[in-house]
Amino acid sequence: MIPKLIHYCWFGPQPLPAATRQYIASWRQFLPDYQIQLWNEHNFDYQANAYTRSAYAAGKYAFVADVCRIQALYQHGGIYLDTDVQMIASFDPFLHHHCFTGFEQGMNPYTRELTCNPQAGVMGCEAGSILMQDIWQQYQNLEFNPQQLITINQLFKQIYQKHGIILNDQRQEIPGYVCVYPSDYFMAKNAYTHELNRTANTVCIHHYDGTWLNDSKGINQLKRRILNTLRTTLGARNSQKLIALLKRKNR
């Protein structure tokens, strides 16, 4: 059984935003008998691993959290949540798994086709999970390069492909390894368009707030979201025409 233990990470000098505190309040509301464990610089030794040491020195705290979540789950078991995840139901029906996670949906900005990808913002396991061990081993051999960042989702994708898990947003299970649920269970919001797909299956919603970004990166993320919305609404070619027209008018 997966223990009733929620892990979350917060590294760096910035305080928890008000929105994050509201999301954590939803955890307490729907998971009242779960222990909640915060991981940060004071209880996670980021200096012990070359990858996290370099990531922390570069101020890339989200990449420190990527490793921290894997270590916490492998050592203690429980459920990891990103700080912008809102609970709307309980995880109790999933605690029988050895390990569970889910897909997330995105969109190709040029073809406007929906995409399906691994995610690491909501996942749970028993201590000693083989999947978490596999991901942890990847980080032991990975060099942190700020110019060529490799996300934790990319590592999950490599592992999934190795084990024959198909990125099709359908429930798939490898007994004793992982059960991967469709996106509407844990990732009911599209990662690219932010369109909500809440269903009777939905347990939580990942809002993709990017709370770990600094101000300049937050502005850049907002720009990307605006461009994504234009591409989704107008199509790639028409959105580029509109952007070019706006640039000419602002000269």
Predicted confidence (pLDDT) per residue in 58-95, tens digit: 999 999 999 999 999 999 999 999 999 999 999 999 99
Banded pLDDT at 220 (limits 50, 70, 90): very low
The predicted model gives 211-239 an average pLDDT of: 51
* pLDDT at 139 (0 to 100): 96
Query: What is the identity of the amino acid at 93?
Result: P
Give the whole-number percent of the chain exceeding pLDDT 90.
Answer: 75
Rounded to an integer, what distance in angstroms lies between the CA atom of residue 152 and that of residue 118? 9
| Cβ atoms of residues 103 and 179 within 8 Å | no
* pLDDT at 225 (0 to 100): 53
Rounded to an integer, what distance in angstroms lies between the CA atom of residue 86 and that of residue 24? 8
Does the pLDDT of residue 130 top 60, yes or no?
yes
> Pick the residue with more confidence: 194 or 243?
194
Domain boundaries for CATH 3.90.550 within the chain: 5-212
Banded pLDDT at 241 (limits 50, 70, 90): low
Q: Which helix (H) or strand (E) holds 66?
A: helix 61-76
* pLDDT at 235 (0 to 100): 56
* pLDDT at 215 (0 to 100): 41
Does the pLDDT of residue 17 top 60, yes or no?
yes
Task: Report the candidate in 125, 130, 146 with the shortest Cα–Cα distance to residue 57.
Answer: 146
* pLDDT at 223 (0 to 100): 53
CATH of domain 5-212: 3.90.550
Does the pLDDT of residue 187 top 60, yes or no?
yes
pTM for this predicted structure? 0.85
| Cβ atoms of residues 100 and 178 within 8 Å | yes
Give the whole-number percent of the chain exceeding pLDDT 70.
Answer: 83
